[in-house]
Amino acid sequence: VAPVGDGDGAAMRRAVRRLSLGAATEDERAEAAREVGRLARSDERTKRALPELGVVPPLVSMLADAGAGAGARLAAARALLELARGTHRNKVHIVKAGLLKKLPKLMDLSTSHDLALLLLSVSSLANTDFPLSTADLLPFLVATLTAADVPADTRLACLAALRNLSAKLKHVRAVVTSGAVRALLALSLLERTETTAAEAALGVLADVASASAAGRREMAEDEEAPRALVEAMARHESAGCQEHATYLVMALAHGGGGGRALRWRMRQLGAVQALLEVSLLGSPLARSRAAKILQWFKDDGQDRIRAHSGPRMEAAASQPCHGNDGGADGTKACRSAVDRIVKQSLDMNMRSIMRRATASVDMTNAKQLVASSSSKSLPC
């Protein structure tokens, strides 16, 4: 253990005794936890030395003690947070002391910002070789994200922790099976005042979609997915929301089968109009993706016209379209003819708008090539 000053060394010993002494009052234990937090903030050497003196297990026990007062438990959470910040070894100490296994006992503290920040700090171990277990962490994060009274800053910290996990291939399957996909889709539908949370939720979904076929299936089959994606593309105040949403549409709605079914559901919710707006007003990356997706919708429309225009044209030619001469059959033929004309008109409008969108994307790409030859973007 690195040497520390005499004053801090004495303070550490006092704090350890007060935390570990079973006869200590609750107020004394809370004050000892606050003292540990102050010492951890004061000096990096002290921060690294404190776990070696055994302060972590009693702090974790205090945090999980339902009989302790809220003040003492939150003081323990803040002390652990200070110990975890910036130190891989201290995070390992905290996990080994059983923090994650005690999370089911901490649901009454799920709205605590300090606890959410502590879990965010611990979740960064997913990016290391440490074998971080998500069996208890993921249910706690999902439950917090779906709770109605969670403050915005607490929700954002939980989303960041979830993104740490979803960014690693070994944890993606657990993220998908935890119910996180439905919770994230619901968050992406939050009011416009919650754009930051919606963008963070869409970012996690994009990570899951890029890494897991099971995750893509889970999203595509969720009944909220079409509306979530269309509304995210309509968030013109957030380029991030539009970029993530268009990426997700490309990942989920490509090809036939389920992709065509998802496109059909999105079309009913106004996806074409939202995509047209993105293709003209969005960021360069979002415009490029929107133009590609619009081509898929255009191809769907042409397939339907090719499938139905022949018989309808013959019926329209063989039946009168005025008066009652044709009776019910004539009325049906007239409607078919009008329907065909409307679809042809829509197709012509789509071609015109597609030319404008493609020209806009091409011009932006040309400008970017002139300005820089090393620009990077998310994979399309």
Task: Please state at what angle helix 180-188 crosses helix 213-221, rounded to 10 degrees.
Answer: 50
Residue 165 and residue 159: Cα distance in Å, rounded? 10
CB 124 within 8 A of CB 164: yes
Residue 241 and residue 236: Cα distance in Å, rounded? 8
Average pLDDT of every residue of the chain: 83
Range 119-137 average pLDDT: 94
pLDDT one-digit tens code per residue, 201-235: 999 999 999 999 999 999 999 999 999 999 999 99
Number of H helices, E strands in the chain: 19, 0
CB 154 within 8 A of CB 113: yes
Q: What is the per-residue pLDDT for 314?
A: 36
Say whether pLDDT at 362 is over 50.
Answer: yes
Which structure tokens are listed for 42?
A: 């004061």
pLDDT one-digit tens code per residue, 93-108: 999 999 999 999 999 9
* Fold (CATH) for 7-97: Leucine-rich Repeat Variant (1.25.10)
CB 272 within 8 A of CB 263: no
In the DSSP assignment, the letter for residue 190 is S
Say whether pLDDT at 1 is over 60.
Answer: no
Range 259-278 average pLDDT: 92
Other beta carbons within 10 Å of 319: 18
Q: What is the per-residue pLDDT for 349?
A: 61
Place of tokens 């415009």: 287
Range 290-314 average pLDDT: 67
Task: Provide the Cα torsion 289, 292, 298, 299; round to 10°.
Answer: -140
Say whether pLDDT at 331 is over 60.
Answer: no
Of 375, 206, 174, 192, nearest to 285 by C-alpha is: 375
Q: Which of 137-151, 185-199, 288-302, 357-371 is predicted with the least confidence, judged by mean pLDDT? A: 357-371
The structure's pTM equals 0.78
Residue 61 and residue 67: Cα distance in Å, rounded? 11
Q: What is the per-residue pLDDT for 68?
A: 84
Q: Tell me the domain boundaries of the chain.
A: 7-97
* 205 vs 367 pLDDT, higher one: 205
Task: Provide the Cα torsion 340, 345, 351, 353; round to 10°.
Answer: -140
Q: What is the per-residue pLDDT for 320?
A: 44
